[in-house]
Amino acid sequence: MLVAHFARTVGLAGYGLVVSPMFEELGVFERLGEATDVVGKEMYDFHDKGDRHLALRPEGTASIVRAYVQHRPPLPFKAWYAAPNFRYERAQAGRYRQHHQLGVEVLGPTDADLDVEVVALAASVVAGLGLTRVEMLLNSLGDGACRPAYVAALAAFLAERQDQLCDQHQRLPLGNPLRVLDCKRDSCRSATDDAPRSLDHLCEPCRDHFARVGDGLTALGVSFTIDTRLVRGLDYYTRTTFELAATALESAQNAVGGGGRYDGLAEAMGGPPTPGIGFGLGVERLLLACDAEEVLAAPKGSVDVFVVDTTGGGEALRLTDELRRAGIGADRAFDARSMKAQFKAADRSGARLALVVGERELAEGTVAVRDLIDGDQEPVGRDDVLADVRKRL
């Protein structure tokens, strides 16, 4: 149901399903940033029989961008996926070694309107599940023109406070200084309270871009909070970054999704310079958030009609086939169950109508059409069943 809801939401915005391989050459994922935990510590890599160095996919973006670089589809290339990812994490509630993401990626436009579309889509998928306690956090990390000076300013700030940072970040070299801003430990948090903020170091084009994203989201009624600590755990991000934090979940694992722009990734993978943006929503965490907010409605029945056949099942076989061919969702019971058991199954299926075939109906060439909501039942000629069902649904 979650995947169907996602597919419907992003399908309405023109995204097409892309299925990428579960593993790739290790090099594809190394572009995500060797200083990141995902690449540096958590990758499931192995050598195959041909001594190729491969890795199980730790996330979805790299494979989509690799596919773009290899196949060069027309731009904009708007892809969605629902796929498992593998990270050698310390497994705990909300953090698993195999998790699943529902995500989109778009390659092509630099337009801030696209950032708005992508952020708003993520928000609308989450809102569509009925979740209300999810906060949209937004930041901009700048681009190749302004980020190096910002990172240098941050590194200088951190160097002066090295001894106040947590054990992990006291060790030199620091790798990517941005990561310290993301550290959840108290020592790092208090040491970086007044650290330089990327938003104060944006060049003019990045500042304009960020302002347009904010204005666009406001125009669409998508609420967000600017979070200057939001640096994300992968190194490919430029400009817009965002994360969805479920306040109903424990804070260390409360990100139900995240994403952002990665304008340099396609080029880093050997393709033409092509901007990109996307997000990934964590399926397991979304479900945990739904549980915590008690919002996930029982899956709605996927069929409209249930065929109850007490004459051996031959009519059920034919009727369900006819209905499905006509595009009407239909199910039936098997193993010649009793009438009572079949009606129970019909109720559980969520169907609106039951088509009932007993010995009498079979002899008369009719089917009893029963409305499962008000219980009304009427005989209908066998040849008129399809038209009658259509009329009632």
Binding residues for ligand HAM, rule: CB under 6 A, are 59-61, 87, 89, 94-96, 99, 101, 103, 105, 233-234, 255-260, 278-280, 282, 284-285
Residue nearer to ligand HAM on the CB measure, 115 or 309: 115
CB of 112 to ligand HAM, least distance (A): 16
Q: How far apart are CA 59 and CA 20, in angstroms?
A: 11
Minimum gap (Å) between residue 141 Cβ and ligand HAM: 12
CB of 219: closest distance to ligand HAM in angstroms? 23
What is the rounded distance in angstroms from the CA atom of residue 185 to the CA atom of residue 108?
Answer: 38
120: left (phi over 0), alpha (psi -120 to 50) or beta: alpha
* Cβ at position 230, least distance to ligand HAM in Å: 11
- 196, 153 in Cβ contact below 8 A? yes
Question: Which amino acid type is present at position 204?
Answer: E
230 vs 316, which CB is nearer to ligand HAM? 230
In this complex, which beta carbon is closest to ligand HAM, that of residue 135 or of residue 284? 284
Distance in Å, CB of 186 to ligand HAM, minimum: 23
Q: Which residue is nearest to ligand HAM (CB)?
A: 282
Nearest-approach distance from CB 370 to ligand HAM, in angstroms: 44
Q: Rank residues 15 and 96 by Cβ distance to ligand HAM and give the closer one.
A: 96
The answer to whether the beta carbons of residues 259 and 242 sit under 8 Å apart is yes
Name which of 245 and 319 has its Cβ closer to ligand HAM: 245
Cβ-based nearer residue to ligand HAM, 87 or 239: 87
Distance set, CA 40 to CA 28, 36, 108, 175 (Å): 14, 6, 29, 11
Question: Which secondary structure element, helix H or strand E, spans residue 289, and what is its range?
Answer: helix 283-293
- Other beta carbons less than 10 A from residue 8's beta carbon: 11
Nearer to ligand HAM, 6 or 96 (CB): 96
Q: Which residues neighbour 120 within 8 Å (Cβ) at sequence distance 6 or greater?
A: 217, 220, 222
User: Shortest approach of ligand HAM to residue 78 CB, angstroms?
Assistant: 12
Which residue in the block uniquely carries the two structure tokens 């990812």?
A: 85
Contacts of 43 (CB under 8 A, 6+ apart): 26, 29, 55, 56, 58, 87, 88
Q: Which is nearer to ligand HAM, 238 or 320 (CB)?
A: 238
String of DSSP letters for 275-287? -EEEEEEEHHHHH
Least distance between ligand HAM and beta carbon 30 (Å): 15
Gyration radius of the chain over CA positions: 27
Q: How far is CA 269 from the centre of its chain?
A: 24
